[in-house]
Amino acid sequence: MDSRAYDLIVGVRLPEEYEDGYVAGAIYIPRGLIEFTIWKKVGFPDNTDTGKKIYIYCRTGGRAALATKALQDLGFTNVVHVNMKIAEWEEAGYPTEME
């Protein structure tokens, strides 16, 4: 992620987890809604780009794995499950934001 070679970073955590802070620059889509909500983030309906590089993360990694698989099943070809915990991100000194 340091290279910033991605189009979207998506946090798929619970609403209360998101309120505690999120990866700087990330968008929030709850895990249970990603299959429905991602489309407007990739240009649907006129310029749909399922090749966008999308990084998916959550609090502990499980929901991110499920969301990554769901997007791949929908035809997204460049989705990356970021296997990290948000606490590790913060401990490493990477930026977070809060609403």
Q: What letter does residue 16 receive in the DSSP assignment?
A: H
List of domains in the chain: 8-97 (3.40.250.10)
* Sequence-distant contacts of 29-35: CB under 8 A, at least 24 apart: 31/58, 31/63, 31/66, 31/67, 34/10, 34/67, 34/70, 34/71, 35/70, 35/71, 35/74
pLDDT tens for the chain, 99 residues long, are 565 677 999 999 888 888 888 888 899 999 999 999 999 999 898 899 999 999 999 888 899 999 999 999 999 999 999 888 888 888 989 888 887
- Model confidence, pTM: 0.86
